[in-house]
Chains A and B, each alone.
Chain A
Amino acid sequence: MSTILLPRPASGRTRSTLGTLARIEARRFARHPLFLFGAVLGLWAATTTRDEVSPSVFDYPAGPAFFVGLLGFVVAYRLTTSTRTSAEAVDGCPVATPVRTAALALACLVPFAAGTVIAALEFGLVRSAALPVNAWGTYGNVDSAMILLVGPAVMCLGGPLLGVAAGRWVRFPGAALLLAALLVAGSMLAGFATMETALPADSVAMRVAHVLTPYTVFGSTAGESQFAPADRAVVSYTGSPAWYVAYLVCLTGLALVAALLSGAEGGLRRRLHRLAMVLTLSAVGCLAFAALGGNQAPMLTQHDGTTVVRVPAG
């Protein structure tokens, strides 16, 4: 009987290891039933006929954000924590935790790609539809693209990356759901509540609150808001969509850094801390521009296209 000697793996192969791991994780992500379910529902929501009575296009980003971004958060959390039962064997491997985290982060490009395709499809369908003249509220082409295309795509990356970070740092049964629910509830409170409460929507505090969370609403139709009592009118809320997307990019970067910090040591840890500082400052800056730029107060666009500024009494 002969002896087969296999060569030892060469050291310093982190990049190729990362690539291999990322491909494995990406396959797991792409085959996860919850991701597939969300992607199919997102696609279905993007392509089915809309209520033609409603002129608003601002509900559309919710599809990819919820079906791919939020469910992607849960999927990423579950994939990250799936090796917990074999933690001792995994931790004993020469590949460091940040490399494994980076592989999971790269796998988040799968929901990002899916979300981008769905958002692009939806955006294309909406742009080609014959909509009422006030459908886009006060927003121009760039802002519309930010709200309906770029923003949802970033959410589909940020959500899963946040799931990876949560999986690395928060570990108890039900944590993924709890965090997802808090994320949704926070977005509802900060985003929706600002357009419904009696507080002055043009105050700085309310404008900041409106763009603080990872999902917000930039417009709505009649009946959904106290600002749009007139049927078939559209309200455009405060804030700059472009800066809001920049703020989301910073939050996405922070989620990635938070994930990579788990198990990071020495120089890498110091670099990640510095990067977190830069991203935090950038996020604060973008938030300020997002809150103070764009519409200074909720704007009502009537059915005939005339825009009226509405500042409610505080």
Chain B
Amino acid sequence: MAMATVLLRAVPWLPVSVLAAATGLLLGLAGMLGESFAAYWLVLLSLSLASASASFVLDEDAEAVVDATPTSTRRRLAGRLVVVGVPGLVGTVGLLTLGRSTDLVGERFVLVLAGCLFIGVVAAAVLRRSGRPAPGDLAAVVAAVATALLLGADPLGRWVSVLPGGHGRDWAGTAALWSGVILAATLVLLWTSRDPAARHTWTGRP
């Protein structure tokens, strides 16, 4: 319990909560606009902001000493991933609410939201692995731009749409795509959360 509490205390809550709140605000505005072109773009923008919000959860200014503690990197990562629940919860509630008033299928978009959150965390994890103790500010930009382009440009549209269609339309391909993104992100997270000393050759075994 103490571990979970201190790990949460060390998270930069200001950017996480402000960007999560902005996610909720944009989804609320999209709900007010109803079935409109602007509402559609606001939903995409809100997903980018949720991704940016998740990018801050790995910020660890005291990394230099924290890495030398017996609490493993993965245990610390697991504790911090709880914070992703903040933009996740705000986004899920917003999308499901939006789904009731529009033809947007909220449940399907929740999977897209999960993928965007993973993209945010992975961007932070990769940057942190490259030597930035607090990569959030940069990772947020990378994640937001990446998700905005991915969702807005739909680069794989010829084969599979990045965004799920409305009720009654097949979305197996989209679901598979985002499940793949989440799986790949999980693998990258596992790779980046290896002990910083474990990647080297220790040949001191007796």
Q: A-side interface residues toward B, CB under 8 Å?
A: 34, 37, 41, 71, 74, 78, 172-174, 176-178, 181-182, 184-185, 188-189, 192-193, 196-197, 224-225
- B137–A174 CB distance below 8 A: yes
- A188–B49 CB distance below 8 A: no
- A224–B49 CB distance below 8 A: no
- A178–B36 CB distance below 8 A: no
Q: Which residues of B contact A178 (CB under 8 A)?
A: 18-19, 22, 49
Q: Which of A34, A71, A78, A172 contacts B15 (CB 8 A)?
A: A172
- A192–B52 CB distance below 8 A: no
- B26–A174 CB distance below 8 A: no
List 25 interface pairs A-B (beta carbons < 8 Å), by A numbering: A34-B141, A71-B145, A74-B141, A78-B141, A172-B14, A172-B15, A172-B18, A173-B12, A173-B14, A174-B18, A174-B53, A174-B136, A177-B19, A178-B22, A181-B49, A181-B144, A185-B26, A188-B42, A189-B38, A192-B38, A192-B41, A193-B33, A193-B36, A196-B36, A197-B36
- B37–A192 CB distance below 8 A: yes
Tell yes or no: B83 within 8 A of A by CB: no
How near does chain A come to B31, taking the closest CB pair, in angstroms? Answer: 13
User: Dominant SS at the A interface?
Assistant: helix
Q: Which residues of B contact A74 (CB under 8 A)?
A: 141
Q: Which residues of A contact B33 (CB under 8 A)?
A: 189, 193, 196-197
Q: Which residues of B contact A184 (CB under 8 A)?
A: 45
- B15–A173 CB distance below 8 A: yes
Tell yes or no: B118 within 8 A of A by CB: no
Q: B-side interface residues toward A, CB under 8 Å?
A: 12, 14-15, 18-19, 22, 26, 29, 33, 36-38, 41-42, 45, 48-49, 52-53, 56, 59, 136-137, 140-141, 144-145, 149
Which partner residue on chain A sits nearest B21 by CB separation? A178
- B137–A173 CB distance below 8 A: yes
- B36–A177 CB distance below 8 A: no
Alpha-carbon separation in the docked complex, A192 to B36 (Å): 9
Alpha-carbon separation in the docked complex, A176 to B14 (Å): 14
9 new A-B contacts at CB < 8 Å, known A34-B145, A174-B53, A189-B33: A172-B14, A173-B56, A174-B136, A174-B137, A176-B141, A178-B19, A188-B38, A196-B36, A197-B36
Alpha-carbon separation in the docked complex, A133 to B122 (Å): 49
Q: Which residues of B contact A34 (CB under 8 A)?
A: 141, 145
- A185–B15 CB distance below 8 A: no
How near does chain B come to A153, taking the closest CB pair, in angstroms? Answer: 22
Q: Which residues of A contact B140 (CB under 8 A)?
A: 173-174, 177
How near does chain B come to A42, taking the closest CB pair, in angstroms? Answer: 12
Q: Which residues of B contact A192 (CB under 8 A)?
A: 36-38, 41
Q: Which of B15, B26, B37 contacts A181 (CB 8 A)?
A: B26
- B37–A224 CB distance below 8 A: yes
How near does chain A come to B204, taking the closest CB pair, in angstroms? Answer: 38
Given A174-B52, A174-B140, A193-B33, do A185 and B18 touch, yes or no (CB 8 Å)? no
Q: Give 6 nearest A-B pairs by CB, closest first.
A: A174-B15, A192-B38, A173-B15, A196-B36, A188-B38, A173-B137
Q: Which residues of B contact A193 (CB under 8 A)?
A: 33, 36, 38
Which of A172, A178, A224 counts the most B-chain CB atoms under 10 A from its CB?
A178
How near does chain B come to A243, taking the closest CB pair, in angstroms? Answer: 23
